[in-house]
Chain A
Amino acid sequence: MIGIEDRFIEKRIFKSRLILIYLFFGILFSAFIYRTYTLQVYSYSSYELASIKNKTRSLLVQPKRGIIYDRNGNILINNVPSHDLIIQPAQIKNISKYLDRLNDIILINKEEREYVLERFENRSIYNRELAVKRGLSDEEIARFEVRSYLFPEAVIDKRYRRESEYPHLFSHVLGFVGGAENENMSDILNKQGKALGETLFTYANGYLIGKTGIENTYDDSLRGVFGEKIFEVDAKGKLLKEIDFIEPKDGIDTFTSLDLDAQKVAFEAMAGRKGAVVVVEIESGAIITYLSSPTFSINQISNGISSANFEKLINDKDKPFFDRVSQGRYSPASTIKPAIGLYGLENKIINWDYTIDDPGFFVLPEDQRIYRGWKKGGHGTINLESALIESSNTFFFSLAYQSEINDLIEHLANFGFGKNICVDCFNPGKGLLPSPQWKMNNLNFGWFKGDSVNLGVGQGYLSATPAQLAFYSAFISNKGSLEKLSLINNNIEKDTLVLPASNITNKDWDRIHKSMIGVIENPKGTAKRLKNLKSYNIAAKSGTVELVSLDSKEDYELVRQDISKRDHGIMIAFAPMPNPKYAISVVIENAESGGSVAGPVAVKVLNSLITE
């Protein structure tokens, strides 16, 4: 028991200890208030941001791609709205049954079915949408909409297809679009200052980027700026409702220098033969025609092609996918001769009065090796002009034999050989301008005099793309200077290539032009058959590329049984003379003749540009 006097002590102890504990809790309370104050007032903005980030996800909204026009305002490629039946694979368990059910309402053909089945699993994993059927008719839309409650996982929505009215005309120059890969997307979003949220990818679907051609080179401006749909999400990431929408900015419409009519004429004239046609506006270096033949449908590639059809395209022996204009490599053959002649004039090896006797072949003094011309018995006594008109090989063999090889190569480089001469072509090739150094490095052989002789007639190691040949043609027509080629005139400061010539006069240029006019107009000209196909003068030079080196015509008869070993035909030309506006190069593979096969194509295209 506790005593009376202890009662007061006890009460005092209790009071002081209770106060002590309460003080302790008071401190805890203050600490807690302070903690809450820090969270709610001091750090409010960062937690508010965290809360917003928690509950929102943004989906990218693709802007409409820019329209591509030709130089006359014709639409070459456009965005065509299409109503597509779209499903959410992640929400569908049995796709096969689902398609059967859909098929009762909207006919889904075998190809569409395969297309869906091929992609279903992947789209399901990444929660991306999948278009079951594109371009639905009004009737199909109506049939689906009244039953849409049966298909909560499917929706009909407007999507834009990239479509050209001329899918086969501009296959290589315009190029095609395709789905963006994740790394493309992260680059694009970085450029546009957007955060790379996980959802941007998770739900990313159908974002197009240019894969080839102008669609690729000008992708940045054609693409536009992505918009964003901002959704509220729950903790599981399920989209609940749209809370904000940032409008996308549509891509910039683009005017190219291409000419629809000339391209059509070139396409028809080529008639599917393998080769290339390139037309350049001499004054600006703008590319007017850019045709690699055969072609393929860019619409088909851009908007979903079945894998079987794609395989067929890829494995086609005519290689329709291959861009011959920028990537093809052809020996310039005799079309190189004006440049070799100019080399002779510049270095005073020859002048216009200089003649040689052409017996039909050239004997290399070093080893008595014989280099033949195309005409048995030769051209007799010839000067530079007749050598160009008649395309004497002997004259240029002899001229190249007398050249200083490094000078000659430097001279040819000024014409654009071995260089990229296009500022905005997709993946432009440089061809090959050989040199002693190059030969040593690549073939482990020294430069022979015979190599120089071959170079004199554009054979041997020298090769150029059709684009380079067109540049070369325009460069000669413009008397030794030309802006680099371009497809879009967009104020980019363009390089101009200039031939640094101290001994070539304007008169020399005129005579070169005159000689090239003679190629068609002169009765002895290699392209004299073109004379009556046009109503104005054309300066031209034909070329025939030997794929197999032979000594006699009889041997060639044997070789030509294999079509793929037949000679290529090349024609470069510019017109109308004397004030040329357009320069052209035409290459037709296995055509056997430049003048009579490539020539008519060149004239038809020039006619379409000049007579009208």
Chain B
Amino acid sequence: MKQASFKRFTIFFDQHLFISITLLSVMGLFFLYSASQGNINVVMKQAIFVGFGIFLMFILSQPDPDIYKILSLVFLVTSLLLVLITILFAKEINGAKRWLDLGIFTLQPSELVKIALPIYLASYLFEKPIPIDIRNTFKSLSIIGICFFLIARQPDLGTSLVVSMAGIYILFFAGLSWKFIGSSVLVFLISLPFLWNNFLQPFQQQRILTSLDPSADPFGSGWNITQSKIAIGSGGISGKGFEAGSQSHLDFLPETETDFIFAVIAEEFGFIGVCILLSVYMFILLRCMYLAFNARDRFCRLTIGGLSLVFASTLFINLAMVTGLIPVVGMPLPFISKGGSSLLSFYIAFGIIISMASHKKLMQR
């Protein structure tokens, strides 16, 4: 936390998060250079996003967090409307309507919901007495449900799950009663077969089954996982070297620039590289925990906790997917995978986190 005082105005800034996120972003550009087989256009485009994102993060950390409390409903409604517009009007790509073409770049509105929903829920719940009563619980769950179904309709199961997790984290931190948690987990487990049959597309079911045994179908849906595991495994301790990954450079690995970029990193930089990368992520997460503990009020606490866990969830879903622990769900590696919307949404999230961490209420004790 730094409040650098100048003559006229104060800059709100957290050098730990700022440096580590910038570091990740720059590393990501290098990884992307290799993953895109030296495609400088891809890297340049990403660099523009990174530059803009860091700038955005800086700008968003300046205003007092209370403004986010006020704007949270507008933010959520706007992003949900965008999702709705996407469903209604967007062009279908690979059987899904997820992207809005804005000319200069294509926006994925569901990425915004990922941020907007926890902020809104935090602003809704921060003054509710604890434990959260049934009425507020159901109100919150309804909002989460609307978000979930809208995004799931695109269809984008991965994002819709992360979005609802984001909402549930806030609810949990705000003091959801254990009784309620226990009984809903029970209901969920019981209705699992029903959900499997009615809410999952056949290709999604196939993905889940494949992740349980990828070798059963090595050239079908298991191909991605198998090739990804080969890429990671063959990296060994020290890796094959920058731009020397045969799995990625000879096209065995799918989606090297986006979802499977971690496999490229693991192949080229080995276990050592993986550990270095993960420690940067760990540092960011632990810093967020520290900031959440020391937040100035409940709204900030809940928001920092929720947003940092959205970040953590995205990260671990991606990692688990790439290493074949869970089905392929299409989740980016934060700050590294190519893709404007998710990248920008995390810069926005961290901009808000830094704002909340660096603005202190003098009255507060």
Residues in A lying within 8 Å of B, measured CB to CB: 1-3, 6-7, 9-11, 13-15, 17-18, 21-22, 25, 28-29, 31-33, 35-37, 39-41, 43-44, 46-48, 50-52, 54-55, 232-236, 240
Closest to B226 in A: A50
Closest to B246 in A: A55
Q: Identify B274's interface contact among A1, A13, A40, A52, CB under 8 A.
A: A40
Q: Does B129 contact A (CB under 8 A)?
A: yes
With contacts A25-B312, A39-B229 known, is A55 near B252, CB below 8 A?
A: yes
Q: Does B82 contact A (CB under 8 A)?
A: no
Q: Does B42 contact A (CB under 8 A)?
A: no
Q: Identify B127's interface contact among A2, A48, A54, A235, CB under 8 A.
A: A2
Q: Identify A50's interface contact among B130, B233, B316, B325, CB under 8 A.
A: B233
Summed over the interface, the residue pairs from A and B with CB atoms below 8 Å come to a total of: 128
Residue pair B234, A36 in contact (C-beta under 8 Å): no
Highest count of chain B CB atoms <10 Å: which of A13, A18, A48: A18
* Given contact pairs A17-B173, A18-B292, a sample of 4 additional A-B residue pairs in the complex whose CB atoms are under 8 Å apart: A9-B130, A10-B298, A11-B298, A40-B270
Residue pair A18, B234 in contact (C-beta under 8 Å): no
Q: Identify A18's interface contact among B127, B227, B305, CB under 8 A.
A: B305
Q: Does B128 contact A (CB under 8 A)?
A: yes
* CA of A35 to CA of B278, assembled, Å: 13
Q: Which residues of B contact A40 (CB under 8 A)?
A: 232-233, 235-237, 266, 270-271, 274
Q: Does B359 contact A (CB under 8 A)?
A: no
Q: Which residues of A contact B305 (CB under 8 A)?
A: 14, 18, 21
Residue pair B129, A240 in contact (C-beta under 8 Å): no
Residue pair B128, A13 in contact (C-beta under 8 Å): no
Residue pair A36, B309 in contact (C-beta under 8 Å): no
> Which label, helix, strand, loop or mixed, suits the secondary structure of the B interface?
helix
List 7 A-B residue pairs with CB atoms under 8 Å apart, sorted by A's residue number: A14-B305, A17-B173, A28-B316, A37-B271, A51-B233, A54-B230, A54-B250
Q: Which residues of B contact A240 (CB under 8 A)?
A: 250
Closest to B309 in A: A21
Q: Which residues of A contact B325 (CB under 8 A)?
A: 31-32, 35
* CA of A378 to CA of B45, assembled, Å: 114
Q: Which residues of B contact A6 (CB under 8 A)?
A: 129-130
Q: Which residues of A contact B232 (CB under 8 A)?
A: 36, 39-40, 47
With contacts A1-B127, A2-B127, A6-B129 known, is A232 near B250, CB below 8 A?
A: yes
Closest to A7 in B: B298
Residue pair B252, A54 in contact (C-beta under 8 Å): yes
Q: Does B323 contact A (CB under 8 A)?
A: yes
Q: Which residues of B contact A29 (CB under 8 A)?
A: 278, 282, 316
Q: Identify A54's interface contact among B246, B271, B282, B293, CB under 8 A.
A: B246
Min distance, Cβ B331 to any Cβ of chain A, angstroms: 14
Residue pair A44, B230 in contact (C-beta under 8 Å): no
* CA of A22 to CA of B312, assembled, Å: 9
Closest to B175 in A: A13
Q: Does B47 contact A (CB under 8 A)?
A: no
Residue pair B320, A32 in contact (C-beta under 8 Å): yes
Q: Identify A33's interface contact among B231, B278, B292, CB under 8 A.
A: B278
Q: Which residues of A contact B274 (CB under 8 A)?
A: 36, 40
Residue pair A44, B323 in contact (C-beta under 8 Å): no
* CA of A235 to CA of B226, assembled, Å: 13
With contacts A21-B169, A55-B246 known, is A32 near B319, CB below 8 A?
A: yes
* CA of A111 to CA of B128, assembled, Å: 94
Q: Does B342 contact A (CB under 8 A)?
A: no
Q: Does B166 contact A (CB under 8 A)?
A: no
- Give per-residue flags for B297-327: 1 if the beta carbon is below 8 A from chain A beta carbons, else 0: 0100110010001001000100110010100
Min distance, Cβ B251 to any Cβ of chain A, angstroms: 4
Residue pair A51, B246 in contact (C-beta under 8 Å): yes
Q: Which residues of B contact A43 (CB under 8 A)?
A: 233
Q: Identify A41's interface contact among B237, B292, B293, CB under 8 A.
A: B237
With contacts A39-B229, A47-B230 known, is A25 near B316, CB below 8 A?
A: yes
Min distance, Cβ B133 to any Cβ of chain A, angstroms: 13
